[in-house]
Structure 1
Amino acid sequence: MIDQLLNLDRKLFIFINSGLSNSMFDLIMPWFRNPLFWAPLYLFMIIFFIKEYKIKGLYLIGFLLLTFAIADFTSASIIKPVFQRLRPCNDVSMAGQINLLVNCGKGFSFVSSHATNHFAISLFLIGTFGKRWPWVIAASLIWAAVVSFAQVYVGLHYPIDVLCGGLLGALIGVLISSLQKTVFTLDGDY
């Protein structure tokens, strides 16, 4: 059963990484996984939190950083060392089948820290602002999904890596958002 799942995972990886390959995606997908590309969004969130919520904005930043820290630590320092799954670009059985668009790196593949971190932040934002601004739901999920898809497209992760990372991140985001609501409420919360 596990072997069949891993075989399907490899086939889906090849379909996304090579089968969907095109010049437009080859140009933009490396950007979608680059933290510097998202820096203006992160800066906007920090400024918005402080401007809109004053002292509570600083607490929001703290909870957002806590969400990121737990997601990143759990994926990179706990799960990856336990599973030690090779990245597709480091897997000799995948040699010659990968359209690698970025530096492969030496880290492990399962789970994707990018997917974990972005889905954690996404679900934190949804839990915190989704009722007040429903557009945050779609925007956050699309943002996290595109970052996760880019991980597979550029050749760094298998689809199961990003799927499980996304689920882990979603759980963390929901938990930290719930914790935040027990500590303080924002104006306009219902």
Structure 2
Amino acid sequence: MWDRILQWDRETFIYLNSLGMEHYDHIWSTITKIPTWIPLFILFGFLFFRKYPKREAIFMVLTVLIMVFFVVTLTDLTKEAVARLRPNNDPEINKVIRILRNPSGYSFFSGHASTSFSITTLVFLFLRRHFRWTWIFYIWPLLFAWSRIYVGVHFPTDLIVGTLIGIFSAWIFYCLHLMLIVPYLRSNRPV
């Protein structure tokens, strides 16, 4: 069964990657870069400080940052343990795919998917009661993750597992924030 999953993964990757068109390469190469999304991160922080008292907003930002550190560490440890070659480094398929980026690290699971979905989900959980439209933030991780297939560096299962890890991590950190930080903020509220 595992072999069938890996075969499906390769075939699906090759098919999706082949849909790319040279005309759009620059756009997808820009989407896949983290600095492109800095204005979105600034917007997240702005919305925290707009809807919450300063002290609460600071703790929300800290929760997001600690979660990102956790997710990046988990991603890196998993990549080293699994040691799956990226498509661009896989000699069986790298001659038949479009490659726009050439990272040398391992593939499983995608750090772009895990971090972007974890950040978006935690921001969504923090802001969903204040803004009905926060679901729109999920456009970022969807584009960010998809770009990794387009540029030739991640298989679909890398993205699927990264997405699930990111969402689950956000849920854990949201619950921890509610259990540990919110009571602390309430008990230390200035009179």
TM-score using structure 2 length = 0.89
Write the mapping of 1:68-147 to structure 2, written as runs, cut at 5 A. Answer: 68-76=68-76, 78-102=77-101, 104-137=102-135, 139-147=136-144
Counterpart of 2:134, as a letter, is: V
- What secondary structure, in the 3-state scheme, does the structure 1 residue paired with 2:92 have? helix
1:160 maps to a residue whose letter is T
Amino acid at match of 2:132: P
Q: Which residue of 2 aligns with 1:2?
A: 2
CA distance in structure 2 between the partners assigned to 1:125 and 1:33 by the alignment = 20
Displacement of 1:52 in angstroms is: 4.0
With 111-120 and 173-182 compared, the bigger mean Cα shift is at: 173-182
**2:11 aligned partner, one-letter code:** K
Contact 2:51 2:130 in 1 (8 A): no
**1:23 CA displacement:** 3.5
Distance of 1:66 and 1:140 partners within structure 2: 20
Matching residue within 132, 147, 152 for 1:155: 152
1:26 partner amino acid: D
Q: Which has the larger radius of gyration?
A: 2
Percent of pairs with identical residues: 27
Is there any run of 5+ residues in structure 2 with no aligned partner, and where? 186-191
CA RMSD of aligned residues (A): 1.7
Over 3 Å counting, the alpha-carbon distance change for 1:153 and 1:106 in structure 2 is same
Provide closer, same or farther for how the CA distance between residues 154 and 108 of structure 1 changes in structure 2, counting only shifts above 3 A. Answer: same
Count of aligned residue pairs for this structure pair: 182
TM-score (norm 1): 0.89
Equivalent residue for 1:21?
20
Q: Is the 8 A contact 1:112 1:165 kept in 2?
A: yes
Q: Report 1:170-189 matches (<5 A).
A: 170-182=167-179, 183-184=181-182
> Structure 1 stretches (4+) deviating beyond 3 angstroms?
none
CA distance in 1, matches of 2:5, 2:82: 16
User: Which whole-Å CA distance do the structure 1 matches of 2:131 and 2:42 have between them?
Assistant: 19
Structure 1 unmatched ranges of 5 or more: none
What is the DSSP-based 3-state SS (H/G/I as helix, E as strand, rest coil) of the residue aligned with 2:154?
A: coil
| Aligned-partner residue type, residue 83 of structure 1 | V
Give the Å deviation of 1:123.
1.1
Pairwise CA distance, 1:180:
1.6
Separation in structure 1 between the aligned mates of residue 24 and residue 144 of structure 2, nearest angstrom: 12
